[in-house]
Structure formats: structure tokens, C-alpha cells
Amino acid sequence: MSNPLETKNSARINVVLNKVPVKRASTDWFVSPEEKEKHEVLTKFEQKLSAYIGLDEIKALIQELYAWIYVNERRKERGLKATKQVLHMIFKGNPGTGKTTVARIVASFLHEMNVLSKGHLLEMERADLVGEYIGHTAQKTREVLKQASGGVLFIDEAYSLSRGGEKDFGKEAIDTLVKGMENNSNDFVLIIAGYSKEMDYFLSLNPGLPSRFPISITFPNYNVDELMEMLIGMAKERDYMLSEEALQECREHIRKVASEQERTFSNGRYIRNMVEEAIRQQAVRILKQNDYRKTAMELLKKEDFQFKHKRFM
Ligand SMILES: Nc1ncnc2c1ncn2[C@@H]1O[C@H](COP(=O)(O)OP(=O)(O)OP(=O)(O)O)[C@@H](O)[C@H]1O
């Protein structure tokens, strides 16, 4: 029997198929301040997400899911049908744009909203699914699906599953995943992730796939201002701040590397590595200078970043 929920989602599915990005509602919270107490989970995730730069599509998706689940509960109280939905997702974007971080947040959100029984995130890639002989792949993939039950299965670089074409065992993994998506009675969300172009190509090679992922989110590269905001935020979170000179140098370095590396630039991960390396370098400097004043220990200086010798990958 066809799933009426999938039919209900047909507008979204069409959007995915036509590769037109879904325009979600604005991220201004739609509940009034007086109503906020009633919406504890929404408020909690609003706060959690506000620590992240950009990600407007995700912030709006969380609102949309919250509204749907909340209204469903109220509908149930009034004797109306409260139907479940297929929530499998595609995340497209370059490295370090926040796909894994967001998948983790989505998993815990769906758990708190009682959509997923466990809410854990299982991160897998081709090697975890594909085996070495006939039948091995299906067995391996089924085992992964079992472990993912009640949570989110996140498959990074999912396009690599169709790398070897028809004869490759990757195809068997895809077929097993598709079966699993149908059998799991909605207590499981599959998120496939990877570079935009490769994911589009992957989906075009597997025409049965796009309609099984009603939610498609694009994670754009961050611009220099956003990366600087991330840098300051990550430092602050760890109780550090940057000197004026360090800020200027970092901006210049990020601008240069982001434009040089383009496709391979690892966005948020690059910034995190930069901050963590600077923290270690600063500790060496502090130790040498024997200066344990609070003001000295919280400050990251230009020399702590060592740009001349390093790329932070
Ligand atoms: N919008 C953001 N705001 C703040 N930090 C971010 C943001 N996006 C990513 N980061 C940080 O960047 C780092 C890398 O993010 P994450 O691992 O989620 O990226 P990814 O897209 O899954 O990368 P990959 O595809 O290479 O696995 C993490 O430390 C994360 O917290």
C-alpha cells in the first residue's frame, strides 16, 4: 500500500526532483514571548542553534518540524488523525559546513519530540556498508540499519556508493538501504550527505532515490565575515579572546586560504583547527614567559597563529 504521507509530501518531493531549493519561512520565532514557556523544546533548540552562524534553512526546518509535531498532538486530542511522515534528508555542501553537527542536532531534536525512540547519530561511510563478496554487503548494511534503529543514520560522501557502477557492491548497499527505509516504521531517519555536485549526480544515477528524501538542505560555504564570527565565537566559548592584530591577521589569512582552496576549503573545521592550534601555541608562550595573569592567559596574540608556516587543513 502506498504511504499517504509520502503523497502529502509530494510538493516537497517535486521541489527536490526539480532541484529548486525549498524556501523556508523566515527564522524569526513565530511564538510570542508569553507563549514561549509552552514551547520548551522549541526554545531550547532555538538557543542551541543561535550559537551557530548562518544555517537559516536548518533553523527554519526545526521550526517547521516542531510546528507539525505540536499541531499533530493537538489534533490527536481533538480526535483528528495525526499521521507520521517520512523525514529522510539530503545534506549538500562542502567539508566543514556543519552537516554532521546539524545531523546530531536534528537527531536529538527528534528524540525530544518523541519522533525517534533513541535519538543517537550513527556516522557511516562507504567502507562501513560495502562488503567484499556477494551477499556480504547486504549483511553489513542490514547490520548498520539495525544499529541505527531509533536514531539517525548519517552517510557521509554517500555518492561514493555508486562509484563503481552496476557491478560494484555499492549498488547492493543502496538497494538494502532503500528496503530498510521502507521497513523501519518511521523510527529512523536516514541522512545522506556530500558535495552538492556529486550528490546531484548520484541522485540522477538512482532515479528511485530522490523521492525517498523529502527534505533537502544545502549548506553553503561561509564568507569571510561569517568565518571570522565563527573564529571569535569558538575562542569565546573556550574563554579566549583575540588581540586586534591577531584579528586582522586571521581575517587576511582566512580570505587568502578560502579563495585559494575553494572547493576543498574545510570551512568551520579549518577555523576550529586554527583556534585549537593557537591555543596550544599560546600555552607554550605563556609557559616560557611565566606569566599566569588571567589577562595574559585569555589573550590570543598574532604570534600564536604562526600563519607563515602553517595551513590548518
Ligand atoms: N554554522 C556554524 N557555526 C559555528 N560552527 C560551525 C558551523 N558550521 C560548522 N561549524 C563547526 O565546524 C566544524 C566542522 O563541522 P562539521 O563536522 O559539522 O562539518 P561537515 O559539513 O559535517 O564536514 P564533512 O563533510 O567534512 O564531514 C565543527 O567544529 C562545527 O562545530
More confident residue, 21 or 142: 142
Q: Between residues 16 and 134, which one has the greater pLDDT? A: 134
Task: Assess whether pLDDT exceeds 90 at residue 241.
Answer: yes
Amino acid of residue 207:
P
CA of 292 to the centre of ligand 1 (A): 32
Determine the average pLDDT of the residues in 110-139: 91
Ligand 1 atom with minimal separation from the 52 CA: 3
pLDDT of residue 311: 64
Q: Which three cell numbers stand for residue 30?
A: 513565530
The dihedral through the CA atoms of 241, 245, 249, 252 has a sign that is positive
* Cβ atoms 188, 116 nearer than 8 A: yes
DSSP-derived 3-state class of residue 196: helix
Is a pLDDT exceeding 60 seen at residue 5?
A: no
Distance of CA 296 to the CA centre of its chain: 36
Question: Ligand 1 centroid vs 226 CA: distance in angstroms?
Answer: 13
**What's the pLDDT score for residue 221?**
92
Pocket of ligand 1 (CB under 6 A): 52-55, 93, 95-101, 156, 230, 268-269, 272
**Nearest atom within ligand 1 for CA of residue 230:** 4
> What's the grid cell of residue 294?
588571567
If you take atom 10 of ligand 1, which residue's CA is the nearest one? Answer: 268
pLDDT at position 90 over 80: yes
CA distance 246 to 249: 5
Beta strand 121-124 with 152-155 is parallel
* pLDDT score recorded for residue 6: 35
**How is domain 224-304 classified at the CATH fold level?**
Helicase, Ruva Protein; domain 3 (1.10.8)
- Count Cα neighbours of 198 within 13 Å in the Cβ-side half-sphere: 18
Ranges of each domain in the chain: 4-219, 224-304
pLDDT of residue 19: 37
**Given this model, what pLDDT does residue 16 score?**
37
119 near 151, Cβ under 8 Å? Answer: yes
Whether the pLDDT of residue 8 is over 50: the answer is no
Residue 22 pLDDT > 70 = no
- The whole-number pLDDT of residue 310 equals 61
Segment among 172-181, 239-248, 294-303 with least mean pLDDT: 172-181
CA of 222 to the centre of ligand 1 (A): 11
**265 with 221: CB under 8 angstroms?**
yes
Complex-level ipTM: 0.97
pLDDT tier at 59, thresholds 50, 70, 90? very high
Cell of 59: 533553523
State how far the Cα of 102 lies from the Cα of 58, in Å rounded to an integer. Answer: 8
Question: Reduced to 3 states, what is the DSSP secondary structure of residue 122?
Answer: strand
In this prediction, residue 263 carries a pLDDT of: 76
CA distances (Å), origin 4, targets 8, 83, 210, 225, 294:
6, 9, 17, 44, 61
Check pLDDT > 70 for residue 9. Answer: no
Best residue for ligand 1 mutational test, from 97, 123, 264 (most atoms within 8 Å of Cβ): 97
Which residue lies with its CA nearest to atom 1 of ligand 1? 53
- Give 221-235 pLDDT, tens digit per residue: 999 999 999 999 999
- Mean model confidence pLDDT for the chain: 86
Integer Cα distance of 279 and 238 in angstroms: 9
CB 118 within 8 Å of CB 244: no
- Which residue from 206, 211, 303, 234 is spatially nearest to 11, judged by alpha carbons? 211
35 CA to centre of ligand 1 in angstroms: 32
Q: Span 4-219: which CATH code?
A: 3.40.50.300
C-alpha cell at 242: 583575540
Please give the distance, rounded to the nearest whole angstrom, from the Cα atom of residue 97 to the centre of ligand 1: 5
151, 183 in Cβ contact below 8 A?
Answer: no
**107: its cell numbers:** 537527531
Q: For the CA atoms of 190, 191, 192, 195, what is the dihedral angle to 10 degrees?
A: 180
Pairing of strands 89-93, 152-155: unpaired
